[in-house]
Structure 1
Amino acid sequence: MHIEKNVFENIFETVMDIEGKTIDNAKAREDIKIYCKRKDLEKNESMGKYPKACYSLGKKEKKVVCDWVAKLNFPDGYVSNMSRFIDMQKYKLFGMKSHDCHVFMQRLIPIAFRELLPVTVWKALIKVEDMLRLNEDIPVILCKLEGIFPPSLFDSMEHLPVHLAYEARVAGPVQYRWMYPFERYLGKLKKKVTNKAKVEGSIANAYLIEETSMFCSHYFEPHVSTKMNVITPRNDDGGDVEQCDGNISIFMSPGRLSGSRKKRRLIDQEYDAARIYVLLNCVEIEEYVKIFVEEKKTSEPNLTDQQIESRLHSDFANWFKIYAHNSNNVDNRIIKDVALGPLRNVTTYPVYFVNGYKFHTRDHGSNRSTFNSGVCLKGSSYGNLSSDYYGILVEIVQLEYPALPIKSVVLFKCDWFDPTPNVGVKIHKEYNLVDVNHKRRFKMYEPFILASQSLQVYYASYPTLRRGKVKPRPNIDLPIDSMAFQDDEVEAHSVDVVDQVSTPLNDPSGVLVDIDDGNDDVQFGEDDDDTDT
């Protein structure tokens, strides 16, 4: 983590051209003249200034980046509030912890600089996120960076990743051999000191009390809260659901509702959409779906697959209601209750915990500094085209079914973006980026999904001097397809072809700028308050 933090700070501070922190100074330019022979970056003797480098941002671009970071909203517990790290006077970030640097380097750099840096520089920067994982690519990535940035950037910290992959293979996972557990435990012992004149005695006394109380807690009744039974995760979903005979999968998914509840009645369109979605996504009802499809193919052999899909959504619910109660093929009482359809009166909630995530409805989280309303559904459309659906959580609905035992399922009502490939959603597989056109909406009325199917994403616009697009959280598992045409796309050497072309490293506008002389005393003396960044 410390290596990644130092690498991130060196690169980010150079791109942002932070005074006193950037390595692109007069001494670095002289090194370039001696060792690299990049005439594009050499000093203009007549003007006494240096050409502005293509890898550093101007004042307008830096302001755009800082404004963008200030407006970012992340899910609860994902990262610190980035707006607290911004200095809008000097256009820089300060005080970021190791995890904040990790998230920015892995998730935000590909978004932050895509519209602001040349393509060659941007491609080299986004490959940095793989540098700590891919042993065979580390030398190649370093060479690409060396072809762009000054030699002074590549100190011992940039060299260390070369050895990390080998170290991991030889020594195993790092958590078994680093110092953090001991540092945390020493901090825990320091908190036990109540008398500074008797430090050792305070620690020993507090340790004995803790051990004694822990030993006694084993003999308490189960309902008594102790350290042994009150350990719950941040986004606890309530644990396993109590099972009864004949229960089906949609009623056994764990989840925990929270917040003030409200009662309302579903309109006809909502009722039909929720009813058919639950039926088509229940594993135990799949065999009856196959029976329905076979009957339609037999009675109307000329139907296309899309027409059968349409009949399935419009006719299956009523067909299954009659089939389940007029046939001996359905013995499960709970399936017969599901065939009758849900109750029209539902209960809505603003918060739901499921799959390790905390979801907020759009209205509930509108005035919060965090964003927990982004939803992703892994799915497929007609044919063999696999696609994911991205949307905003509008309402959390608890749907109940008639008869005992009490049966309820939680649905998410979402506002879906258009999932059409290359129109509503564009996936950059090489860079693991997903672009979503926030102006286009899904044309079909299918607002509901099972809460247990949802993944959480966040959306962020590209920082740019012009209007940008909307982008979801980039660490979503993309669908993998083994079709031959996709293999050809992967093997296309588009990046290598671009890198082989000699591209100028100075700013295309030809701007000349004054550069700091690189004096160490000046560098650290001007900004003493931020030396920990």
Structure 2
Amino acid sequence: MGHRRFLDRDHRYRHNKRNFYRKLELREASKQLSGNEVLAQVSKINIIFGKKSDTKVGKKRNRDENKEKGKASCWKKRSIFFDLPYWAGNMLRHSLDVMHIEKNVCDNVLRTLLNIDGKTKDNVKSRLDLQEMKIRRTLHPKQRPSGKIYLLPACFTMANKEKDDFCRVIKNMKVPDGYASKISRCTNLKMKKILGLKSHDTHILMQQILPIAVRRTLPPNVSSIPIEFSGFFRDLCSKVGRMQDFKFLESQIALTLCHLERIFPPSFFDIMVHLPIYLASDAMLARPVQYRWMYPIESERKKVIKKEMPRRAPRLLECIHNEKFPDWLGKYVDHVGNDQVLKEVRSLARGPNTVARRFKGYIINGFRFRTKDRERDLKTQNNGVVVTTKTSSFASTSDRNPVIGDVDYYGVLTDIIESDYCGSKKVVLFKCDWVDVRTQGRGIKKDEFGLTLVNFKQLWHTGWNLYNEPYVLATQVQQAFYVPDPIDRDWHVVIRSKPRDLFEMGINDSLVDNDIYL
């Protein structure tokens, strides 16, 4: 505990004695020593490597000699790495492993929330600690007339119904192939336990699933804290990071740990829960986590239409453009001549063959996709599709000032069709059931924690007329999977997945910025 010392000097938590073990916090944050400073402190330590002496007198004499020579109390020996000529000048001599820290933190949170016997951090000894520290008197252990000790429920304690909802979110979850192992196998609904998670399972659980599971099972003022902790690890593990992002995370994690201190018992704060305070500063020195962790390592045609129909509303002009563009392109290519048009454009202008191929699965953009029917009896979910595209948004049919912006469309893959253009070009189309994202709260909404939820009973582009567009180019899609909400049965929480072996390399303009780490 004691993470208030990492906050700003004027932060209100430093003077909050009621929620933080009845003390003011006026200390400065611990200073990170340079290699030369450490070397100066350990240079006079006398350590004899090899076979140790059997006499305790020799050991005691050796310790006394080290104290007389000014040995700092926190050091026991001089690391052999200081024999390397560059070691004292290293800014980051020991890189903290995010994978193991994240796993231990996730295990602590899960075991405490589910109150797993022998694993929880909220037990009799923890309550006795509160009693000795004279804080949170309502949680002090009570002794019944029979002699048994009774522990009152804490704010994070879940009832059996809430534990059941929490575990069902994880048990009923389906993820894409290769995204994670079958986490549902580690969930025991009868015993309300989650055990046997691998490191990557806890990585997915901590960053993606935990916010969904706690948002409906804990009070909002309590659930927001694990969600905040989850967001820290998610942002820290981003594949593209800037210096200002890591500086913000460095200040944010101190506040998050203080929030945790207000609700969790002192025994919750072992060394693994403390180490995240240094992860953002590590990332500023050693670049993003992905390089250090231990995982296996269309405008011309619109101008013509607008010139021909200057008084038509922009929304109608866009519909006319979509309807007449194929015919216009064919006539334009024939008028220009073959010598001035690329072969691929000529093939597209002539239109596709009348015979097409159909698939049940397809791998593209680093994702494995399957149709909804193909996955009916499977335990994985690879049919979730998300497309982010610049779209013109109109307030009404008479709106003459459309707003162009990025819009996310969420759907479920129902068919995969490959069209052939004169044998020289093949185009793969995904047909999807698209959620109606036009109105907030109808087919899509955001909850108080910033999570996106969709309702597959509210669809659009489901007809066969020209204005319905159920198809999208396969090259445009990214993958997502949907986790059912345990309370609102028609709603699903969206989680956008990323291919594990693909890395975002940024854009060329960003290379000018020296503070971006790719």
When normalised by structure 2's length, the TM-score is 0.65
1:448 corresponds to 2:448? no
Give the equivalent residue in structure 2 for 1:64: 165
Q: 1:180 to 1:381 in 2, by over 3 A?
A: closer
User: How far did 1:296 drift?
Assistant: 1.9
1:135 alignment partner, SS class: helix
1:93-108 to 2 correspondence within 5 Å?
A: 93-108=194-209
Could you tell me which amino acid in structure 2 is paired with residue 6 of structure 1? N
Equivalent in the alignment of 1:409: 427
Q: Are 1:126 and 2:227 matched, yes or no?
A: yes
Q: Does the CA contact (< 8 Å) of 2:170 and 2:184 recur in 1?
A: yes
Of 372, 392, 400 in structure 1, the residue corresponding to residue 382 of structure 2 is: 372
Q: Which residue of 1 aligns with 2:317?
A: 308
Percent of residue pairs bearing the same amino acid type = 37
- Deviation of the 1:77 alpha carbon: 0.8
Partner Cα distance (1:355, 1:470) in 2: 24
1:399 to 397, 413, 419: 419
SS where residue 116 of structure 1 aligns?
coil
d(CA) in 1 for partners of 2:134 and 2:262?
9
Compared CA separation, residues 440 and 3, structure 1 to 2 (3 A): same
Relative to structure 1, the CA distance from residue 322 to residue 148 in structure 2 (aligned partners, 3 Å threshold; closer, same or farther) is same
Counterpart pick for 1:90 among 179, 188, 191: 191
Distance 2:449 2:288 in 1: 27
CA displacement at 1:34 relative to structure 2: 3.5
Partners in 1 of 2:192 and 2:158 — Cα distance?
Answer: 11
Measured at CA, do residues 27 and 417 of structure 1 come closer, stay the same or move farther in structure 2, by a change above 3 Å? Answer: same
Indicate if the aligned counterparts of 2:211 and 2:230 stay in contact, CA closer than 8 A.
no
Is the 1:433–1:474 Cα contact (8 Å) retained in structure 2?
A: no
Residues 39 and 392 of structure 1, relative CA distance in 2, 3 Å threshold: same
Partner residue of 1:470 out of 482, 492, 509: 492
Residue 481 of structure 2 corresponds to residue 458 of structure 1? yes
Distance 1:363 1:350 in 2: 8
Number of the residue aligned with 2:28: none
CA distance in 1, matches of 2:161, 2:125: 26
Q: Does 1:338 align with 2:344?
A: no
Q: Give 2:158's aligned amino acid.
A: L
8 A Cα contact 2:390 2:407, kept in partner: yes
- Cα distance, 1:174 vs structure 2: 7.2
Question: Which residue is equivalent to 1:8?
Answer: 106
Corresponding residue of 1:214: none
Partner of 1:145: 260
Distance 1:173 1:116, change over 3 A: closer
Residue 295 (structure 1) shift: 2.3
Residue 422 of structure 1 is matched in structure 2 by: 440
For 2:119, what is the secondary structure of its paired residue? coil
SS at match of 2:428: strand
Contact 2:166–2:217 under 8 Å retained in 1: no
Indicate the SS of the match to 1:308.
helix
Partner of 1:523: none
1:224 is matched with which residue?
none
**CA drift at 1:31:** 2.1
1:54 and 1:334 map into 2 onto residues whose CA distance is 64
Using a 3 Å threshold, how does the CA distance of structure 1 residues 346 and 474 change in structure 2: closer, same or farther?
Answer: closer
- Does structure 2 retain, via aligned residues, the 8 Å contact 1:75–1:370? yes
Deviates more, 1:354-363 or 1:162-171: 162-171
Would the aligned equivalents of 2:457 and 2:490 in 1 still touch at CA under 8 Å? no
Q: Matched residue of 1:379: which SS?
A: strand
For the Cα contact (< 8 Å) 2:386–2:478, is it kept in 1? yes
> How many residues end up aligned between the 2 structures?
367
Q: Give the superposition deviation at 1:178.
A: 8.1
**What SS class does the counterpart of residue 384 from structure 1 fall into?**
strand
Question: Cα deviations across residues 97-141 of structure 1 (Å, max 9, x unaligned)?
Answer: 111111100110110111111111111101112445322212100
Change (3 A) 1:11 1:410: same
Corresponding letter in the other structure for 1:387: V
How do 1:167-178 residues align onto structure 2 when only pairs under 5 Å count?
Answer: 167-170=282-285
Give the match's secondary structure for 1:358. strand
Q: 1:113 aligns with which of 196, 205, 214?
A: 214
Change (3 A) 1:131 1:376: closer
Mapped pair 1:293 → 2:302: yes
Counterparts of 2:223 and 2:121 in 1: how far apart (Å)? 18
Distance 2:257 2:104 in 1: 15
Stretches of structure 2 lacking an aligned partner (at least 5 in a row): 1-98, 237-248, 393-402, 462-466, 500-518
- Residues of 2 paired with 1:7 and 1:460: CA distance? 23
The yes-or-no answer on 1:318 pairing with 2:324 is no
Match for 2:364 among 325, 335, 354? 354
Which letter maps to 1:318?
Answer: D
Name the SS of the counterpart of 1:381 in structure 2.
Answer: strand
Within a 5 Å distance, the mapping from 1:373-392 to structure 2 comes to 373-382=383-392, 383-392=403-412
Q: Which amino acid aligns with 1:349?
A: F
Deviation for aligned residue 1:440: 0.8
| Alignment correspondent of 2:83 | none
Q: Is the 8 A contact 2:361 2:369 kept in 1?
A: yes
Which AA in structure 2 matches 1:97?
K
Residue type of the partner of 2:481?
A: Y
1:154 aligns with 2:269: yes
Indicate conservation of the 8 Å contact 1:107/1:475, yes or no.
no
**Contact 2:455 2:490 (8 Å CA) reproduced:** no
Aligned-pair CA distance for 1:36: 5.6
Following the alignment from structure 1 to structure 2, what is the Cα–Cα distance between the partners of residues 57 and 180?
33
Displacement of 1:90 = 1.8
Q: Distance in 2 between matches of 1:352 and 1:6?
A: 37
Q: 1:77 to 1:432 in 2, by over 3 A?
A: farther
1:480 aligned partner: none
| AA in 2 matched with 1:300 | M
Structure 1 gaps of 5+ residues are 185-285, 478-533
Is the Cα–Cα contact under 8 Å of residues 177 and 380 in structure 2 kept in the other structure?
Answer: yes
- Output the aligned Cα RMSD: 2.8
CA contact (8 A) 1:131 1:161 kept: no
Q: Aligned equivalents of 2:451 and 2:293: distance in 1?
A: 33
Q: Are residues 303 and 23 of structure 1, via their aligned partners in 2, closer, same or farther at CA, if it must alter by over 3 Å?
A: same
Query: In structure 2, how many angstroms separate the alpha carbons of the residues matched to 1:452 and 1:310?
Result: 24
